[in-house]
Amino acid sequence: MRILIVSQYFWPESFRINDLALALKERGHQVSVLTGFPNYPAGIVFEGYGWSSIGRSDYEGITLFRVPLFGRRQGRSWQLALNYLSFVLSASLLGPFLCRDKYDVIFVFEPSPFTVGIPAMLLRWLKKAPMIFWVQDLWPESVVATGGIRSLRLVGLIGKMVRSIYRRCDRVLVQSRGFVEPAKVAGAPDGRIEYFPNWAEAIYRPVELEASAPERVKFPNGFNILFAGNLGAAQSLETLISAADKLRDEPDIHWLILGDGREKSWLREKISELGLERTVHLLGRFPVEEMPRYFSLADLLLVTLRRDPIFTLTIPSKVQSYLACGKPIIGAINGEGAKVIEESGAGLAVPAEDSDALAESVLKLYRLPSEKLEEMGKQGMVYYERNFNRDNLVRRLEKIMTEVRKEGLCES
């Protein structure tokens, strides 16, 4: 099939759509991607990308069409709005001229913003190709929870945009079962919605590091809890810091933070303010390909989210990555994410933003024999293969694409 992926984010940014595009190409499909200048998560357009990057390029046999956008910068509301709208404008104006081929399917990747669906709708109409929309973040709920939008009028306008996009989707895929009903309420046509979860890229597997591995020197002696990923408002990093503060008298327990984002400066200041430099360590940001090496050195892998109704419905994608690496997990999250951790037997989940419960659970796991922690990690891997196997999910997506191609465009 000739597949056009529309995604505001793509390589060299680290998103699951990179792996999906490669998987589809490896299975013999002709894959093209309409995307913007890479700038996530630091907010600054990556070095080497600028006006000369506009147009066609190649990535591992995949055709890329890049359009300009305004970087996220510090992630303030007006900066994010410019980031979202600049991609909509440039992709809508330049996309039809760059993406001149015929396509069998248009596949939209939406980890936020939902506005990525606007240029995709235009291309669906121009190309007469059915559109599949993969929902990672629910709007308007997500933008209200993380962006602090309180204007009922603005929320209403966003809701109308979301409804308009959903109506023009020939299939809506949701990454969590908890998304199904909210998507229907927001306008996704009943009968066109399917649960389609995330998986972990093939690189996420247990690894054994050599004794001289450079990553080892970054890990202190003791019991190491590793948080990896975006450092943003949704991650409730206050919970992590508060739990670390409660366990400050346990010198053997260390908290390592791997990643970057808008809350990194706050983290650095809070660590200094509370005098936690001895037990909380900011490691920085590293290529996604190196993540399994860092995971292998951790005793526990940590996931946290804010206590908000929208986040009870989601499964943070790092959960799948953690499970695939065979390491025990501690989560301070509610809802679907907590359910996965508990069902898998890979670790413990405590209520979101409950730093007391997080500290207590960390102590409980710290006191377990290492053999028990290893068994938790193995159970997580078994659960991952049963529920999130990459090859099985990609085959299922191919089947969905074939179906919508045969069905043609649904009525709006």
Q: State the DSSP string of 47-73.
A: TT-SGGG-EEEEETTEEEEEE-----T
Map residue 227 onto helix, strand or coil: strand
* Predicted pLDDT of residue 148: 60
Cβ atoms of residues 25 and 62 within 8 Å? yes
* Predicted pLDDT of residue 52: 87
The one-letter amino acid code at 114 reads: F
The span from the CA of 388 to the CA of 95, in Å, is 33
Matching fold, domains 2-199+389-407 and 214-387: yes
* Domain boundaries defined on the chain: 2-199+389-407, 214-387
The span from the CA of 115 to the CA of 220, in Å, is 43
Can you read off the two tokens belonging to residue 288? 């996604």
* Predicted pLDDT of residue 155: 81
* Predicted pLDDT of residue 37: 96
Name the helix (H) or strand (E) containing 156.
helix 152-167
- Rg over CA atoms, the chain: 21
The span from the CA of 348 to the CA of 216, in Å, is 26
* Predicted pLDDT of residue 310: 85
The span from the CA of 399 to the CA of 132, in Å, is 12
Map residue 155 onto helix, strand or coil: helix
10-residue averages of pLDDT along the chain (412 residues): 98 94 96 96 89 93 97 85 95 96 97 95 97 94 71 84 95 95 92 94 91 92 96 93 97 96 92 96 92 96 93 92 97 96 97 98 97 97 95 96 92 72
Sign of CA dihedral 370, 375, 381, 384: negative
Cβ atoms of residues 149 and 139 within 8 Å? no
Question: If one looks up domain 214-387 in CATH, what number appears?
Answer: 3.40.50.2000
pTM recorded for the entire structure: 0.85
* Predicted pLDDT of residue 411: 77
Interior CA angle at 48 toward 80 and 218, to 5°? Answer: 80
The CATH superfamily assigned to 2-199+389-407 is Glycogen Phosphorylase B; (3.40.50.2000)
Residue linked to tokens 């990179």: 18
